[in-house]
Structure 1
């Protein structure tokens, strides 16, 4: 009877929510094909051993890929479990939600979303689920800031000079991300403002009902703060943005199409998607669209509700410069479209009762890595495939070196980068030499020499996939690894190589 009732509930859900049902089926198929099976709890994992620095989304996903393919890991997180597990998603407001469609946020194949735009709680739950599924709860140490990563006399990595407690490692995954502590820049004469000031990540429990809210900043945090103010019945909302930023619709098909630019930057055809966005998305609000900034130069905001709030008269988007704080608000220099920062404009006081600093986060430091990986011209983000320092391919800094991009978030590349590292570790013939890694970096600069940004300052997802294919093809010793690198298939292949290597190690087994 229970089975029959369960089948009926599934059938009812499929009939009443056909799109959601299809989405769940697709996710189940992706999980079945691409997710490596977690090893049994009693199974002793094999070498190589990898240190993962950071227990955020990228660190947990990378470690799960390692463990799922038979490699041992240890995750080091500087913060407590409450604030560290899940990374930035454990430190933002409970009202935060995903701006892009969740199908573009599948940070690990085993993730199962039940909604198109999950909330902060949903995202934290999925990260914790992957963490537990792969037994990473037993392989994580919290409250452990990393101060140094260096090699011992045997060429193996030591964390914080503490080989006795943590042992040694064959590889390093630096997954500290790009969002650390809240960034709170100084506002001129801030002490004169009579109301409270909050960072956009600290809005839980704050009361703005019936108040005039001033939001400082023009990025994704500003949109989130605006949505918070609207949902909490603020009387007036003004977003004070110093720079122009592209906004693209919350539409999975449009977002995927925009990420298919294989050149990874502005081209002579970039005016086409920009024209369409202004004509059919901005429409009557084209005056707040960037006039001198190309779409493929900066990470765009993904939001469709913002323009609805502006058109409904619930919010204003003001371009200009903050000159000083006043008791009743902010003295603001309003600039016209196309006028650069600090340029001429019209000064007036924008009244407000509350200031929300939507000014983003400080970028976490990679200074714990060896000094030699910060060589001039070949420092982050100018690394091999943007994440491997040419001085040592046993270091992989996934999602910790990028600046701007258009594409999915963790949907595919976390696994690819992790498997590249695993391949380099177990098959020395696939490792790129320092000179060739630097040659690839220089070659990329030549290919993107006409880009308005630096060669490694902006990537599209299509460009990344192109580089993955190129790097896999140019070395014949990597060809046998292609199904593993791109899809995680044939998990026995790396283990078989490790077993062959074990025959030549002391005692016949890697320790």
Structure 2
């Protein structure tokens, strides 16, 4: 029998379509940059008379982006970050700011730590939602493992019925801490079914694991990485389950979950938590390269993980069948600790107005000059996760430039209370989940309910109007003079 005729890759029409799509996507990005990107100063010396000073706490992607927007609009920025320059960026950068205080008086300013960097007009907190890796403590785990992940060989030898093979956190799986030899050809058991767990499965398979098993306490919604489908999902106007949400869920079950419908969550709606965005995981389950086990890890043994295996319609902790899942390597996909914001004054977060129940979900209700971009976020669905960074930053800059646009604590709390009323009964709390469509509604009402803010609309939404400009006046007080000039001459 003659071998099948294979079409050369370069003649495959689908590859041509994909190539055209990529080119169009790149061109669109260039157009967006040309239209919306504010030109930065040509050199540090060009920012001689800034409109104000902003402290950015955290040098991850959100922090660097926020700082860039501030500088592009003539604000001086100081970034506070624990890591060295070589280690900046990413969700695993940890801030060590210890104190943020505000001086008294009508022109009070913020000082960071001992105030060595001077006074600031506003503070942007960008510590994110993922801090240090979270280690769970299971019986059968070597002593000290959950605390510092290090136990001597002598101590391990004294312990009975413990798992003495490699135990690693999912954040280490694709790092230099884990060698190729540790994973290749081995049976890897991943504990956890969230985004970290899905990524851990893919990383283990990519590094040549012989077999992978995921132990899932709860089923998570998994959606494809498709710009059209995700855009439609994000267009849901209210961040909560709605009467017609079952349509989206049914579509996913019959399309994305085709062949593995048993993996769809039985007790959680699509609009109740952040879904996992992934194209390949379900295919790994379908082709058998990953075995999906629904159950509760009970303890580790010398050979693997003792697990209470449950049926789909049961909840964590319900009765099941105890089984031991053999393992050569155990990966804890148990997430990350929420970064602390203890450096901020407690007075900024009165009872019932703590993360995520903040003004526009990112401003503290007690002081408009403290912005917490991506630091109060809990769950949501959006097509792209960066547009809001510039918008929120420019809202803060608007407050700095125009005192009439600023909300009072009463206004901020009222906004939170109204959202609570509209979304009462929402799973996870009214502000614990939102979509990009809902965020758009917040931004529209932010302007329409306060017509005096409409003159800032194009600046807030598109970054148009406020630029770095040559100004007269040098030395101390130049920043205040510049801000007063903006107010009087309406530089926006």
Same fold (TM > 0.5)? yes
Q: Does 1:212 align with 2:163?
A: no
Point out the structure with max Rg over C-alpha.
Answer: 2
Shift of 1:293: 0.2
Whether the 8 Å contact between 2:50 and 2:482 is mirrored in structure 1 is no
CA distance in 2, matches of 1:449, 1:262: 15
1:365-384 Cα deviation digits (max 9, x unpaired)? 11111111121111111110
Other-structure match for 1:502: 484
Gaps of 5+ in 2: 1-14, 143-161, 472-478, 488-492
Helix, strand or coil for the counterpart of 1:201?
helix
Q: Does 1:194 align with 2:164?
A: yes
Helix, strand or coil for the counterpart of 2:255?
helix
Other-structure match for 2:270: 295
Shift of 1:410: 3.1
1:89-135 Cα deviation digits (max 9, x unpaired)? x67xxxxxxxxxxxxxxxxxxxxxxxxxxxxxxxxxxxxxxxxxxxx
Other-structure match for 2:78: 74
CA distance in 2, matches of 1:196, 1:184: 14
Other-structure match for 2:10: none
List aligned pairs for 1:49-448, cutoff 5 A. 49-83=53-87, 85-88=88-91, 145-154=96-105, 155-160=108-113, 162-163=114-115, 165-191=116-142, 192-203=162-173, 204=175, 205-206=178-179, 207-448=182-423
Root-mean-square deviation over aligned CA pairs:
2.3
Whether the 8 Å contact between 2:401 and 2:486 is mirrored in structure 1 is no
Helix, strand or coil for the counterpart of 2:52?
strand
Whether the 8 Å contact between 1:194 and 1:353 is mirrored in structure 2 is no
TM-score, normalised with respect to structure 1 = 0.82
Q: Does 1:23 align with 2:18?
A: no
Shift of 1:221: 1.0
CA distance in 2, matches of 1:387, 1:279: 37
In structure 2, do the counterparts of structure 1 residues 439 and 82 end up closer, same or farther at CA, with 3 Å as the change threshold?
Answer: same
Other-structure match for 1:128: none
1:5-36 Cα deviation digits (max 9, x unpaired)? xxxxxxxx999932222111111101001111
CA distance in 2, matches of 1:377, 1:188: 37
CA distance in 2, matches of 1:340, 1:14: 47
Shift of 1:54: 0.3
Whether the 8 Å contact between 1:70 and 1:495 is mirrored in structure 2 is no
Helix, strand or coil for the counterpart of 2:429?
coil
Whether the 8 Å contact between 2:190 and 2:201 is mirrored in structure 1 is yes
Other-structure match for 1:6: none
CA distance in 2, matches of 1:339, 1:245: 14
Whether the 8 Å contact between 1:50 and 1:72 is mirrored in structure 2 is yes
In structure 2, do the counterparts of structure 1 residues 464 and 47 end up closer, same or farther at CA, with 3 Å as the change threshold?
Answer: same
Deviates more, 1:321-330 or 1:42-51: 42-51
Shift of 1:47: 2.6
Whether the 8 Å contact between 1:384 and 1:440 is mirrored in structure 2 is yes
Which of 50, 58, 65 is 1:46 aligned to?
50
Helix, strand or coil for the counterpart of 2:296?
strand
Whether the 8 Å contact between 2:58 and 2:95 is mirrored in structure 1 is no
Whether the 8 Å contact between 1:79 and 1:145 is mirrored in structure 2 is no
Helix, strand or coil for the counterpart of 1:87?
coil
Whether the 8 Å contact between 2:58 and 2:80 is mirrored in structure 1 is yes
Aligned residues: 438
Helix, strand or coil for the counterpart of 2:97?
coil
1:308-355 Cα deviation digits (max 9, x unpaired)? 111111111111101111111011111111201100111110011100
Shift of 1:61: 0.5
